[in-house]
């Protein structure tokens, strides 16, 4: 069994983090991942789709075991409570994945309120619901909350500048997000093979761990992350295509059916996004090239500079996927989708990946002779 600084810090069996993958519901997946010995993460972005994408919101509420007329804080509390109750037997460790950009600050504040109210009155909740993963924004404003709650703090980011900001804020685990990852990506396309070792070299020390995300899906890629100095990996697309995943059947099937070169970049609601190559996504990419070319050359734009119809495409495409509309479906996934061919149980998938990782690391010295 592989022990790393991540497994020791968090108290998990395997050095794997299941990505939150908001705004979509991953509550059942979080439970399965935590029960399998990984760090399970809840998505907390689903309430943002209350008006913009009712199909996604309804599924988010359902998976949280909440009611449609519950306020956001109540939905979050019910979601976290469901995960807590359904991981008791295994003692699974879980956390919340929270987008903290200025545009969604109110949502982040509601998540933090729910976390505080649940943890303040429950010692076991504090012991197992102990990780906060922030993303898509400045981590600094949340340093006080993390310190007050005594949570393990992780932040997902795409470049060196944000890593330095994380270090200054006191983030304990830096999750370097390579451009081959699924759905929303960075404006500057730096992939894991370049980004991860750069972050390890510049920021890893006795107080700061580094994990990689973007492209990790099997024993080979996890072993590569360790070779680059990572303490663990975060996986999204591989967890998406599992039996327990909350994602709809069409989304999972599109991942499984993905062929060589089966993803593309096109404008998403908060910037460039990686989509599975469907007919609708291909057309959206052409529209992006025409109306938001910055998505391809690393020059950020904003809502005032591009047609609203381009932003609306994401909402319509995702809703079509949830409704089983193949012709108009758009679904995000990472480049590693072309290497995923099955939909296993989460626990079986994790055990296979880690067994393969162990075999690869054990046999490297036999395959390559260093003189």
Q: Are residues 176 and 234 in the same domain?
A: yes
Q: pTM of the full predicted structure?
A: 0.95
What pLDDT shows up at residue 269? 83
Q: Decide: residue 327, CB within 10 A, 0-12 exposed, 13-18 middle, 19+ buried.
A: exposed
Query: CA 86: distance to chain centroid?
Result: 21
Q: Are residues 135 and 202 in the same domain?
A: yes
What pLDDT shows up at residue 336? 97
The domain tally of the chain equals 2
CA dihedral 76→78→80→83, nearest 10 degrees, is -140
Q: Are residues 111 and 221 in the same domain?
A: yes
Asked whether residue 364 is assigned to any structural domain, the reply reads no
What pLDDT shows up at residue 92? 98
d(CA 67, CA 64) in angstroms, rounded, equals: 9
What pLDDT shows up at residue 46? 76
**Gap between the terminal Cα atoms of the chain:** 28
Asked whether residue 347 is assigned to any structural domain, the reply reads no
Query: Strands of 129-135's sheet, edge to edge?
Result: 16-18, 232-235, 209-213, 173-177, 152-157, 129-135, 94-99, 40-43
Q: Are residues 327 and 190 in the same domain?
A: no
What pLDDT shows up at residue 365? 80
Helix (H) or strand (E) holding 177: strand 173-177
Question: Low-confidence residues of the chain, pLDDT below 50?
Answer: none
What pLDDT shows up at residue 73? 94
What pLDDT shows up at residue 96? 96
What's the half-sphere exposure (Cβ side, CA atoms, 13 Å) at 176? 34
Q: Are residues 11 and 26 in the same domain?
A: yes
What pLDDT shows up at residue 304? 86
Asked whether residue 362 is assigned to any structural domain, the reply reads no
What pLDDT shows up at residue 59? 86
């Amino acid at each position: 069994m592989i022990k790393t600084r991540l497994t020791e810090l968090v108290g998990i069996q395997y050095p794997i983090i299941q990505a939150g993958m908001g705004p979509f519901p991953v509550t059942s997946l979080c439970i399965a991942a935590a029960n399998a010995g990984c760090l399970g993460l809840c998505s907390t972005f689903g309430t943002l789709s209350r008006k913009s994408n009712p199909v996604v919101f309804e599924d988010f509420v359902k998976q949280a075991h909440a009611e449609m007329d519950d306020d956001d804080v109540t939905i979050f509390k019910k979601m976290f409570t469901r995960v807590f109750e359904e991981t008791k037997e295994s003692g699974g460790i879980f956390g919340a994945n929270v987008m903290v950009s200025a545009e969604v600050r109110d949502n982040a504040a509601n998540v933090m309120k729910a976390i505080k109210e649940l943890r303040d009155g429950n010692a076991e909740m504090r012991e197992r619901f102990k990780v906060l993963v922030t993303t898509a924004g400045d981590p600094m404003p949340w340093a006080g909350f993390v310190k007050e709650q005594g949570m393990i703090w992780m932040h997902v980011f795409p470049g060196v500048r944000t890593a330095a900001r994380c270090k200054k804020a006191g983030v304990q685990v830096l999750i370097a997000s390579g451009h081959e990852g699924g759905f929303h990506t960075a404006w500057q396309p730096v992939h894991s093979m370049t980004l991860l070792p750069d972050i390890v070299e510049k920021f890893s020390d006795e107080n700061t761990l580094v994990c990689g995300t973007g492209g990790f899906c099997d024993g080979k890629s996890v072993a590569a992350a360790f070779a680059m100095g990572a303490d663990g990996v975060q996986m999204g697309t591989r967890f998406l295509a599992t039996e327990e995943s909350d994602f709809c059947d069409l989304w999972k099937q599109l991942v499984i059916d993905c062929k060589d070169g089966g993803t593309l970049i096109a404008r998403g609601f908060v910037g460039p996004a990686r989509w599975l190559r469907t007919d609708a996504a291909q057309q959206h990419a052409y529209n992006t090239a025409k109306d938001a070319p910055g998505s391809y050359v690393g020059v950020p734009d904003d809502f005032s500079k591009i047609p609203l119809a381009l932003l609306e495409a994401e909402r319509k495409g995702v809703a079509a996927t949830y409704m089983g509309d193949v012709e108009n479906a758009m679904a995000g996934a990472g480049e590693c989708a072309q290497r995923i061919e099955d939909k296993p149980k989460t626990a079986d998938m994790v055990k296979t990946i880690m067994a393969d990782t162990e075999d690869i690391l054990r046999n490297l010295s036999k395959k390559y002779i260093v003189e």
